Amino acid sequence: MADYKAPLTDMNFLLFQVFSADKMWQQSANFNEQVDQETAIAILQECAKIAEQEIAPIARQGDEIGVNFTLNEEGEGGQVKTAPGYKEAFQTFAQGGWCALGGDIEYGGMGMPKIVSAFVEEMLCSADISFALYPVLTAGAALSLAKHGNEELKERYLTKLYSGEWAASMCLTEAHAGSDLGIIKTKAKPQADGSYQITGSKIFITGGEHDLTDNIIHLVLAKLPDAPDGPKGISLFLVPKITVKDNGELGKNNQVSCGAIEHKMGIHASSTCVMNFDSAQGFLIGELNKGLACMFTMMNFERIGVGIQGMSAGERSYQNALEYAKDRRQGKALNQNGTLSKTSEQISKQPDSIMVHGDVRRMLLSMKALNEGSRALSCYIALQLDYATFATGDLQQKGESLSALMTPLAKAFFTDLGFETTVAGQQVLGGHGYIREWGQEQLVRDARIAQIYEGTNGIQAMDLLLRKVVGSKGAIIKVFIAEVTDFITEQKKLDADSVESINSSGMVEFIEPLQQAITDLTDISELLVTKAGDDLNEIGVAANDYLHLFGYTAMAFVWAKMAAVAITKLQTLDNAADTEQSEFGRDFYNSKLHTAQYYYARLLPRRLSLLATIKSGSTTLFTIDDELF
Amino acid sequence: MADYKAPLTDMNFLLFQVFSADKMWQQSANFNEQVDQETAIAILQECAKIAEQEIAPIARQGDEIGVNFTLNEEGEGGQVKTAPGYKEAFQTFAQGGWCALGGDIEYGGMGMPKIVSAFVEEMLCSADISFALYPVLTAGAALSLAKHGNEELKERYLTKLYSGEWAASMCLTEAHAGSDLGIIKTKAKPQADGSYQITGSKIFITGGEHDLTDNIIHLVLAKLPDAPDGPKGISLFLVPKITVKDNGELGKNNQVSCGAIEHKMGIHASSTCVMNFDSAQGFLIGELNKGLACMFTMMNFERIGVGIQGMSAGERSYQNALEYAKDRRQGKALNQNGTLSKTSEQISKQPDSIMVHGDVRRMLLSMKALNEGSRALSCYIALQLDYATFATGDLQQKGESLSALMTPLAKAFFTDLGFETTVAGQQVLGGHGYIREWGQEQLVRDARIAQIYEGTNGIQAMDLLLRKVVGSKGAIIKVFIAEVTDFITEQKKLDADSVESINSSGMVEFIEPLQQAITDLTDISELLVTKAGDDLNEIGVAANDYLHLFGYTAMAFVWAKMAAVAITKLQTLDNAADTEQSEFGRDFYNSKLHTAQYYYARLLPRRLSLLATIKSGSTTLFTIDDELF
């Protein structure tokens, strides 16, 4: 496996040249003292070192050895031992202050914006998704606690989560209740002292038990005995593995135990636990029966993070595949410079690098375009999350709409693409991609889970189309459409203002197809909002394809934005003295521009099939009886 | 995991109602004494029993335990122990005569047509791909030996391969030579007695070493010292693991050893070996320097078998997913019968089966349509292989053209779809699909290899477009286009002859889009043949998309054929007395017809994106320098 190299230049380009995050920070009361360009770059560089040097090297061993589960002497209360190197790596990570990155500054957090922490998550996940899950889920739980916990809980627990002394888990799923949380059975019984006794069994709990920290803080969904049926009767509780005394020291064990761990396709080094709560002491977070809302505070931040997992695996796979492809010699180029005129003397006997083969270039460029496109789009969405959380007025409103709209997109689209790209990266290596040695097959197995957990991609698609698009009667998708239309207008205007026409500026090849894609997205959205009034099954059937259609269109938007910057920078370089260099060099911008062209030529057309499929409606799915399947 | 149920009804339907294999057999000098409808059905039923009862039950354990490799006392000559149950299952299989199924009757084979043995392969692979590889590869090697070996070799080895006492392996790949066999280094030194000394190292050898049989016969590609460079200097040799005396008894060990086995993503119970030949005794098969041609005899039969592996995994995954979906209750139906008018009394508190969700139906129906479509298309191609091998005159010619054209399609298209469907089948189960318990993740891992081995799918795409379509200047694709056009004309004529119009016959919804798909395939094929004259990179870049475009079109053809039969049978049932039953029942034909409609509405449109992508050409792939990747 190639050494992991964090894509710092691309991150820098996105933050400061494409999305001008520094300007947002300067104008924000929350960020202007916390972060500037220099700080952000320093943070990303430091994180890159840890990801490359401390975490990436333990991933392979983590996959081979996995987590070890043993029951205690009484045959209960199982212990989980993480793979060699995980404890040390986590300590290094925690001591570096990384668990506090996005945390509330009042309780020891660093208060960094999501647009920065999203890149940190990417690097951690590229290095090792299994490892990353421990701190990333802890950060998610901390977010929910910071937003909804009372002062006492925050003082006692949040500080320890930020310091990395303790970790956290999210306990939602039960054996009979996954996508449908309304039917959970875990009970919370109110106690005289204001605490609750939590009883029930949760499954698929990531990081439910492990040996990385002294304590684990579980955020548990449960129902009071008299709670309303369904999702409106769910409350959120904080349940520590080991109880905490008033002075903050660890007390006795709580009635929480790990009953088993799952054996999974991938993320072997991440413990996936059955967690049993047997009259365990718990504390209410937020209001009674508002547990799902408290959880969803975290969810938007979490779900974009899961989307990033997909892309991060794709990035790692691309780096490996590219190294292999440049090195591997097999077969001859079909022709040189597009001609068949090579003379026999020109034909060397040595095979060419497989980079000469069109199909290998297709796989690599698809990976590159989808990875970089996902990174850019995730950056855009993270920015909207920051606006939604920290801005005011119109910016806040727009940020809220766009982040609500695009969070399910990020989760499902980036993970579907991440799986596609890891599979492509495996294919580039042929048989060598199927054996463990190169690590490509592990990336496929590890990436696969991201399409499933934190709400399956099917659930995300329904969240996008039913709740967001149809739920707002199309209003919320229009916010996005307006954003893109403004960009198109701006590009056309820039062009009209300049001496050059839009044709010669180089942007016309992006603006025209982008316009078409936006028009089609507008039309199909309206059609679906109308159809929803008659038959909601039309929505259920269209959701997955709609999500992907939206995804390819949104990615076209960010690729056009990147192309516009690249073109401007290249023009500046052309006009400058020969010796002058831009920050990232001409190659970087040329690469961006070419990749944008590739995306528009060969990936954006995927929307055509999706449009046709959505238009075909739901008839063929619901006229067939279940018995005929 | 659900118990595997072999799809015997579908096989029966395809063989005798859609493709009328029995008529072909009656007219064939080769088959009319070997096989008829009754025999074929009996064979498939017997095979189903073994697959369901003997092989499927060992698959999970095979995955968990895998194959065990140990070196002998001298630290060389490794031994491979297969997983528990494999040896017994192989004995049962061999004793049933199954290794002889497609074999030459002169040497103890049963002489069954490919159209029957293809279904046997499907059932074996659905039960357990790892197990199936041992006999399937042996059958492939036997085919090559039967066609090109001399009498002595056939007498001595073929009979033992057919009896299942011995197995075989195919030794092609070397560490530096996979897709590019022209550069292999394994040497063959002629000996005075007419044999050869074979020296070299081969990798990725499936079944290179194991404990299922007393001897293993390796077919090895090697070069004579004075052989021409490249593919034209390759010869094929038979190299037994244990030498065979003149009386047929086993002699001393040959200089063949297994140096290591690979640790892989899946097919854990199939041994993938490094095989070392150290002046091993070998015997020439066929002519010197014609080794690749001898190998390719086997390849066409083998490659369709690999394609079938993909579909077989998809079938198994579908059966599991369907059982799970019917049982799993989660969430509520969006509306009933397309209305939103349900009153609160009608709403039960219990969640619905997930079969009510549009997205779950989408996944299941896509699996069903792609699996059954692949099975039908594989049956069509197997029939062409039988014509090519055993028919005479025009039928033989057409069979040869179509099987040459469609073999790479079968291999790549069915395995790409098989991977897609196993992933979809995993997704239906959500988190339960990611853990090992339900077996869905094993199917994904096992299916993945089929896209890679026996020539990667990228290589298949080049074989199809460059060698077959462009190589014949479009002539060979026209044979297929004519076949479909004849079918369309025939349908229209049937329609004109009947009282009903084509609209009321129900076939119009298939015939019109099929006509459009064929027109587009014709145009794009002509375009590519023209482009190839200027720039072969256009071909390299288009190959993968072209293969899929062709695949979806060919699958539309067989779905239309199946729909036509279903419509006719349903009409017959309508016209018959109420009590009369067709052989398979009304539900079977209704299911076929609905699935055909689903395919046309929601899967055939995938060709639209492929068309657009192919048309976009190769510019964006070759104007970008390698350094900019």
CB-CB neighbours of A344 under 10 Å: 5
Three-state DSSP class for residue B278? strand
Residues B411 and B300: their CA atoms lie apart, in Å, by: 9
Q: How far apart are CA B79 and CA B582, in angstroms?
A: 54
Axis crossing angle, helix B358-390 with helix B291-327, rounded to the nearest 10: 150
Residue A621 touches partner B, C-beta closer than 8 Å: yes
| A623 close contact with B: CB closer than 8 A | yes
The type of residue at A141 is A
Question: In A, which residues are within 8 Å of B361 by CB distance?
Answer: 541, 621-622
Are A420 and A390 found together in one domain?
yes
Q: Quick check: A621 and B598 CB within 8 A?
A: yes
Interface of B with A in 181-200 (CB under 8 A): 183
Q: Tell me if A435 and B262 make a contact (CB, 8 A cut-off).
A: yes
Assess A175–B contact: CB distance below 8 Å, yes or no: no
Same domain for A415 and A485, yes or no, is no
Closest-CA residue of B relative to A585 is B628
Catalytically annotated residues of A: 454
The fraction of chain B above a pLDDT of 90, given in percent, is 87
Residue of A61, A419, A434 to mutate when probing chain B, most B C-beta within 10 A: A434
Does residue B409 contact residue B547 with C-beta atoms inside 8 Å?
yes
Within-domain flag for B64: no
Residues B378 and B416 in one domain: yes
The size of chain B, in residues, is 629
Q: Which amino acid belongs to residue B441?
A: E
The token pair that represents A64 in the structure block: 């081979």
Please report the DSSP string for A40-93 in residue order. Answer: HHHHHHHHHHHIIIIIGGGHHHHHHH--EEE--TTS-S-EEEPPTTHHHHHHHH
Beta-ladder partners of A258: A275
Is the CB of B624 inside 8 Å of chain A's CB atoms? yes
- Disruptive mutation site among A454, A463, A537, A622 for chain B (greatest number of B CBs within 10 Å): A537
A478 & A415 share domain? no
What six digits make up the tokens of B30? 């080769």
Same domain? For B369 and B443 the reply is yes
pLDDT for A32 equals 85
Lowest mean pLDDT among A532-541, B339-348, B397-406, B455-464: B339-348
Q: How far is CA B121 from CA B134, B266, B301, B313, B545, in A?
A: 11, 19, 11, 12, 28
- Identity (one letter) of the amino acid at B112? M
Return d(Cα B449, Cα B488) in angstroms, integer.
37
Q: Would the CB atoms of A355 and B436 count as touching at under 8 Å?
A: no
From chain A, pick out residues whose CB is under 8 angstroms from the CB of B541: 358-359, 361-362
In this structure, are A592 and A447 located in the same domain?
A: no
* Collapsed DSSP state (helix, strand, coil) of residue A128: coil
User: What does each C-alpha distance from A324 to A330, A363, A433 come to in angstroms?
Assistant: 12, 13, 10
Chain-chain contact of A335 with B537 (C-beta, under 8 angstroms): yes
CB contact at 8 A, A208 and A271: yes
Tell me whether strands B215-222 and B166-171 are parallel, antiparallel or unpaired.
Answer: parallel
CB pairs under 8 A between A and B: 271
Stretch B51-58: mean pLDDT, rounded? 98
- Binary contact (B265, A434; C-beta < 8 A): yes
pLDDT value of position A339: 40
Low-confidence winner among A473-477, A530-534, A600-604, B582-586 (lowest mean pLDDT): B582-586
Same domain (yes/no): A509, A606: yes
Q: Is the per-residue pLDDT at B338 higher than 50? A: no
Dihedral sign for Cα atoms in the order B340, B345, B351, B352: negative
A5 has a chain B CB within 8 A of its CB? no
Q: Give the amino acid at A305.
A: G
Q: What pLDDT digit, counting tens, does each position of B88-104 carry? A: 999 999 999 999 999 99
Residue A544 has pLDDT above 90, yes or no: yes
- Domain assignment of residue A443, yes or no: yes
Q: What residues 380-419 of chain B have any CB closer than 8 A to a CB of chain A?
A: 419
pLDDT tens per residue across span A185-237: 999 999 999 999 999 999 999 999 999 999 999 999 999 999 999 999 999 99
Alpha helix ranges (H) inside B241-332: 291-327
Shared-domain flag, residues A494 and A474: yes
- Look at residue A342 and tell me whether its pLDDT is greater than 60: no
User: Is residue A227 in a domain?
Assistant: no
Q: Over range B264-271, report the average pLDDT.
A: 98
* Selected residue of A370, A421, A620, A623 to mutate for chain B interface (largest B Cβ count, 10 A): A620
Q: What is residue B454's predicted lDDT score, i.e. its pLDDT?
A: 93
- Assign A580 a pLDDT band (cuts: 50, 70, 90): low
Inter-chain CB proximity B361 and A541 less than 8 Å: yes
Using alpha carbons, select from A175, A169, A163 the residue that is nearest to residue A205.
A169
The answer on A447 and A477 residing in a single domain is no
Search chain B and give the residue with CA nearest A338: B535
Nearest to B204 among A357, A431, A597 (CB): A431
* Smallest Cα distance from A538 to chain B, Å: 8
CB count in 10 Å sphere of residue A27: 11
CATH number at residue A425: 1.20.140.10
Which DSSP letter does residue B628 get? Answer: G
SS (H, E, C) A177-236: ECCCHHHCCCEEEECCCCCEEEEEEEEEEECCCCCCCCEEEEEEEEECCCCCCHHHHCEE
- Taking an 8 Å cut-off on Cβ atoms, the answer to whether B608 and A608 are in contact is yes
Mean pLDDT of chain A: 94
Residue A276 lies in a domain: no
Contacts of A552 (CB under 8 A, 6+ apart): A517, A603, A604, A606, A607, A610
Residue where a domain stops, chosen among B405, B436, B463: B463
Which segment of A316-330, B336-350, B545-559, B604-618 scores lowest on mean pLDDT? B336-350
| Residues forming a β-bridge with A174 | A177
What number is the average pLDDT over the span A437-460? 97
Residue A558 shares a structural domain with residue A409: no
Chain A touched by B339 (CB under 8 Å): yes
Query: How many alpha carbons fall within 13 Å on the CB side of residue B608?
Result: 17
pLDDT at B308 > cutoff 50: yes
Q: Which residues of B touch A535 (CB under 8 A)?
A: 335, 338-339
Residue A235 bridge partners (DSSP)? A222
Contact criterion met (CB < 8 Å) for B427 and A452: yes
Q: Which of B372, B441, B454, B538 is catalytic?
A: B454
Q: Which helix (H) or strand (E) element contains residue A256?
A: strand A256-261
Q: Return d(Cα B182, Cα B232) in angstroms, integer.
A: 8
Between chains, do B431 and A173 touch, taking CB under 8 Å as contact? yes
Would you state the pLDDT for residue A577? 65
Distance, in Å, from the CA atom of A501 to the CA atom of A492, rounded to the nearest integer, reads 9
Query: Percent of chain A beyond pLDDT 90?
Result: 87
Average pLDDT over residues B540-559: 98
Of B263, B359, B607, Cβ closest to residue A435: B263
pLDDT band for position A555 (cuts 50, 70, 90)? very high
Report yes or no on B238 lying in a domain. no
Question: Is B430 close to A358, i.e. CB distance below 8 A?
Answer: no
At B564, list the tokens. Answer: 């036509």
Residues A599 and A569 in one domain: yes
Residue-wise pLDDT tens digits, A451-467: 999 999 999 999 999 99
**DSSP strand pairing (A187-190 vs A235-240):** unpaired
Question: Is residue B454 annotated as a catalytic residue, yes or no?
Answer: yes
Which amino acid is located at B133 in the chain?
L
* B411, B445, B463 - which closes a domain: B463
A445 touches B at CB < 8 Å: yes
The residue ranking higher by pLDDT, B1 or A511, is A511
Nearest by CB to residue B178, choosing from A262, A431, A537, is A431
pLDDT at res. B504: 61
Which candidate, A251, A217, A223, A254, places its Cα nearest to that of A236? A223
Tokens of B300: 């066409």
Q: Is the pLDDT of residue B506 over 90?
A: no
Report the predicted TM-score, pTM, of the whole model to 2 decimal places: 0.96
How distant, in Å, are the alpha carbons of A7, A352, A509, A593, A597 from that of B624?
Answer: 19, 17, 17, 10, 10
ipTM above 0.90, yes or no: yes
Eight-class DSSP state of A574: H
pLDDT band at A338; cut points 50, 70, 90:
very low
Range of the domain at A425: 304-333+369-463
Q: Are residues A497 and A609 in the same domain?
A: yes
Q: What does the alpha-carbon distance between residue B163 and residue B155 come to, in Å, rounded to a whole number?
A: 12
How many distinct structural domains can be found in chain B?
2
Domain boundary, last residue among B414, B440, B463: B463
Q: What is the pLDDT of residue B537?
A: 95
- Taking CA–CA distances from B262, the nearest residue in chain A reads A435
User: Does the pLDDT at position B299 exceed 90?
Assistant: no
- Classify residue A529: in a domain, yes or no: yes
**A359 to B544: CB separation less than 8 angstroms, yes or no:** yes
Rounded Cα distance, B488 and B478, in Å: 15
Are the C-beta atoms of B199 and B277 separated by less than 8 Å? Answer: yes
Contact of A87 with chain B, judged by CB distance below 8 Å, is answered with no
* Residue A58 half-sphere exposure toward CB, CA atoms < 13 A: 27
How many Å lie between the alpha carbon of A620 and the closest alpha carbon of chain B? Answer: 5
